[in-house]
Amino acid sequence: AQRVTQPEKLLSVFKGAPVELKCNYSYSGSPELFWYVQYSRQRLQLLLRHISRESIKGFTADLNKGETSFHLKKPFAQEEDSAMYYCALGPLDSNYQLIWGAGTKLIIKP
Amino acid sequence: EADIYQTPRYLVIGTGKKITLECSQTMGHDKMYWYQQDPGMELHLIHYSYGVNSTEKGDLSSESTVSRIRTEHFPLTLESARPSHTSQYLCASSDIGQGVDEQFFGPGTRLTVL
């Protein structure tokens, strides 16, 4: 079954500390993977996708097919990074629909 | 300005009422989606559409129905609301391209059925 797991519902780190939000997926084919973010009182929006290989707002995510993971990382957290983060899988044989993780709430402490 | 609009933003209604949640987009996108999201949980796709006169059910069984008569408009209707329908409903749209496209989300409708 296709599934996305975000093991941490809540992650709290101090400002300036490194951040890693975990995402594991279950899918036998070649996936497209995404991180979406929802800041307080704002809409859900795309943060980054693995095929673009970009760093957005200092965040990066590397697809590890061996470990079926797509962890989101930032070396130095900032207070404005506090938000809900969702990992999503786009299996290419499923009419391009997204399968979502339950999300991780990231709190950056001053 | 290109955007996705959802109305109402909040709705409290009694059991048995018929309700329609509105979603409109000026993004020029062909694909539109309805998701249901309970607090602290993942998004579940309940309906999607590739374009006018195209509607499909998503992976979450839902008693709602949708229509797509115009490209920009994708309303969701509950014929008889029940307390189990209490949730947040998110509308999204995307372009049709190669692979899985970025989805753009509306602000959501928070529905409470008493």
A110 Cβ partners below 8 Å, 6+ apart?
A14, A15, A79
Q: Quick check: B88 contacting A, CB < 8 Å?
A: no
CA separation for the pair B90, A43 (Å, rounded): 10
Angstroms from B39 CA to nearest CA on chain A = 10
Q: Quick check: A54 contacting B, CB < 8 Å?
A: no
Name which of A4, A96, A102 is nearest B100 (Cβ-Cβ): A96
For B52, half-sphere exposure in the C-beta direction (CA atoms, 13 angstrom radius) is 5
Contacts of A9 in chain B (CB under 8 A): 40
- SS3 assignment, position B46: strand
Reported as a single tens digit per residue, the pLDDT across B35-84 is: 999 887 889 999 999 999 999 998 777 789 999 999 999 999 999 999 99
Reported as a single tens digit per residue, the pLDDT across A45-81 is: 999 988 887 888 999 998 998 999 999 999 999 999 9
